């Protein structure tokens, strides 16, 4: 659905997006993570044919970025939720959707059917004739998502869909995205909410001007952050930690509550040795498990390493 090669955007001397190469498949939910100013919105704007690229190439929804005719085709086939909802407050939810459906030159009957289906899905059908100005932030965000979907796009770009929403409204919007995922829609989700990305996305890319990593969340978690084994003990002590360190010949042991956390490279080989070392040091093991690093750890590691680069 998306194929980008060396996509770059410069504003004068500032490089906003540097040499991005990525693929997003049909029906995939792809999360684009990065701190503020990392280039996420610029990337979406390039892929959505809203701004030009400085170099590189990209094919979106079957059309190549570059010519005005193809870019019109791209905008026909995609839906975009910008980081600001940008609704017409004085008009109703129905009128907002109707206007955008007509701009996409939809057949009036299909448009009515789509609006009814989408507002129904968003639990807003009963309020369809109320001015949008009377809606809460979460409801407005849902109308904006419906607007991006009104013409049945094959690809949906969502730019920070839960930013600035209270937890309840954010949950409401996440549920809508999960519904869309069930419908097998291709979604490109810009977010800096790692929990959201972890729960919703099939794959994520971590961006800080350059694409630092890309892959399924699990692969990133196992590939970019240290693996650790957690040993829950009846009781911990400094002496026990020192003895375990000495026996395993490592400094990678720390205490967290009633658990010892031990850095490992190969858990299958090292876990029996860890258990032996703890028992030999006088510890009583209640539980031994593998600790999966969170996406947050992977993200922070990559983003901070990138910051440290010259």
Interacting residues toward other proteins by CB under 8 A: 11, 45, 48, 50-52, 68, 72-73, 75-76, 78-80, 82, 84-91, 99-100, 102-105, 144, 147-148
Q: What is the CA radius of gyration of the chain?
A: 24
CB of residue 283 vs other proteins: minimum separation in angstroms?
Answer: 59
131: its two tokens:
């001015």
Nearer to other proteins (CB atom), residue 34 or residue 101: 101
**DSSP reduced 3-state for 157:** strand
CB of residue 86 vs other proteins: minimum separation in angstroms?
Answer: 4
Q: In whole angstroms, what separates CA 13 from the centre of its chain? A: 29
CB of residue 253 vs other proteins: minimum separation in angstroms?
Answer: 51
Nearer to other proteins (CB atom), residue 45 or residue 221: 45
Q: Which residues pair with 227 in a beta bridge?
A: 264
Distance, in Å, from the CA atom of 189 to the CA atom of 69, rounded to the nearest integer, reads 26
CB of residue 88 vs other proteins: minimum separation in angstroms?
Answer: 6
Nearer to other proteins (CB atom), residue 53 or residue 203: 53
Nearer to other proteins (CB atom), residue 74 or residue 253: 74
CA angle 245, 250, 255 (to 5 degrees): 55
CB of residue 2 vs other proteins: minimum separation in angstroms?
Answer: 16
Please state the φ and ψ torsions of residue 223, each to the nearest 5 degrees. -90, -25
Please state the φ and ψ torsions of residue 73, each to the nearest 5 degrees. -65, -40
CB of residue 84 vs other proteins: minimum separation in angstroms?
Answer: 4
Distance, in Å, from the CA atom of 29 to the CA atom of 187, rounded to the nearest integer, reads 5
CB of residue 8 vs other proteins: minimum separation in angstroms?
Answer: 15
First-last CA distance in the chain: 35
Residue entry with tokens 């190549």: 64
Nearer to other proteins (CB atom), residue 128 or residue 232: 128
Alpha helices in 201-294 (DSSP H): 217-224, 238-248, 267-280
Nearer to other proteins (CB atom), residue 103 or residue 242: 103
Q: Is 158 exposed, middle or buried (0-12, 13-18, 19+ CB in 10 A)?
A: buried
Of the candidates 177, 184, 80, 167, which has an alpha carbon nearest to the alpha carbon of residue 121?
Answer: 177
């Amino acid at each position: 659905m998306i194929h980008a090669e060396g996509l770059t955007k410069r504003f004068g001397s500032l490089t906003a997006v540097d040499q991005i190469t990525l693929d997003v498949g049909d029906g995939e939910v792809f999360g684009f993570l990065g701190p503020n100013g990392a280039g996420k919105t610029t990337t979406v704007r390039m892929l959505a044919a809203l701004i030009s690229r400085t170099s590189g190439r990209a094919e979106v929804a079957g059309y190549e970025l570059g010519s005005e005719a193809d870019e019109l085709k791209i905008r026909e086939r995609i839906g975009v939720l910008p980081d600001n909802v940008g609704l017409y407050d004085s008009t109703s939810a129905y009128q907002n959707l109707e206007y955008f459906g007509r701009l996409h030159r939809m057949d009036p009957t299909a448009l009515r059917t789509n609006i009814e289906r989408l507002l129904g899905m968003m639990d807003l059908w009963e309020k369809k004739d109320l001015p949008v100005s009377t809606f809460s932030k979460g409801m407005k965000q849902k109308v904006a998502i419906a607007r991006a979907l009104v013409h049945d796009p094959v690809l949906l770009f969502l730019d920070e869909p839960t930013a600035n929403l209270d937890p309840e409204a954010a949950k409401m919007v996440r549920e809508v995205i999960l519904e869309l995922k069930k419908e097998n829609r291709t979604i490109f989700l810009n977010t800096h909410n790692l929990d959201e990305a972890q729960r919703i996305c099939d794959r994520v890319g971590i961006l800080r001007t350059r694409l630092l990593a890309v892959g399924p969340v699990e692969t990133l978690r196992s590939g970019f952050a240290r693996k650790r084994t957690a040993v829950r003990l009846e009781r911990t002590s400094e002496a026990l930690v020192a003895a375990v360190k000495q026996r395993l010949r490592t400094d990678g042991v720390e205490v967290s509550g009633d658990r010892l956390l031990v850095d490992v490279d190969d858990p299958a080989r090292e876990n029996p040795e860890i258990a032996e070392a703890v028992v030999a040091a006088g510890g009583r093991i209640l539980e031994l498990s593998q600790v999966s690093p969170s996406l947050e750890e992977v993200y922070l590691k990559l983003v901070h390493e990138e910051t440290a680069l010259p």
